[in-house]
Amino acid sequence: MIFVDTSVWAAYFNGEDLKEVSFLDDVLAGEKQPIAVLPIVITEVLQGFRSNSGFEQAAELLCRLTILDLSLDSHIRAADLYRRMRQKGVTVRGAVDCLIAQACIESGAELLTLDKVFALVARHTKLALA
């Protein structure tokens, strides 16, 4: 399973020419492995649309993906992940990034991201990057 974070979705919908966007295109076209998202990532992606048609098309695509649902314990582990990273000198921007990392760790999904902080998190955890 591939988890696609907000940074890659934004680049995808903006038509950016990046290897991560090409990879996402290939996964979407091949449907060989499921793509996962968290509801909060859907919110982050959709709030960036200015046009109604773009919003609706993106919502339709995103809602067809595997939606990961985190338990209360997962949220607590995400907070602990933030604390552990801070103790190691890694500053994670906030709760959403910790939830994304925790969701990937728990589900075994590989994370497709443009955000460099996840490479640092992966060095200290079982987070796998795509």
Mean pLDDT of 18-26: 95
Residue pair 70/103 in contact by the 8 Å Cβ criterion: yes
Of 16-20, 31-35, 104-108, 119-123, the range with the lowest mean pLDDT is 31-35
- Residue 108's CB is within 10 A of a number of other CB atoms, namely 10
| Predicted pLDDT of residue 124 | 95
CA 26, CA 71: separation in Å to the nearest integer?
Answer: 31
pLDDT of 97 strictly over 70: yes
| Options 3.40.50.1010, 3.40.50.720, 2.40.50.180, 3.40.50.300; CATH of 2-129 | 3.40.50.1010
Read off the pLDDT of residues 35-91 as tens digits, 9 standing for 90 and up: 999 999 999 999 999 999 999 999 999 999 999 999 999 999 999 999 999 999 999
Residue 35, φ and ψ in degrees, nearest 5? -110, 135
Q: What is each CA distance from 67 to 17, 29, 73, 123, in whole angstroms?
A: 26, 19, 18, 26
pLDDT of 126 strictly over 70: yes
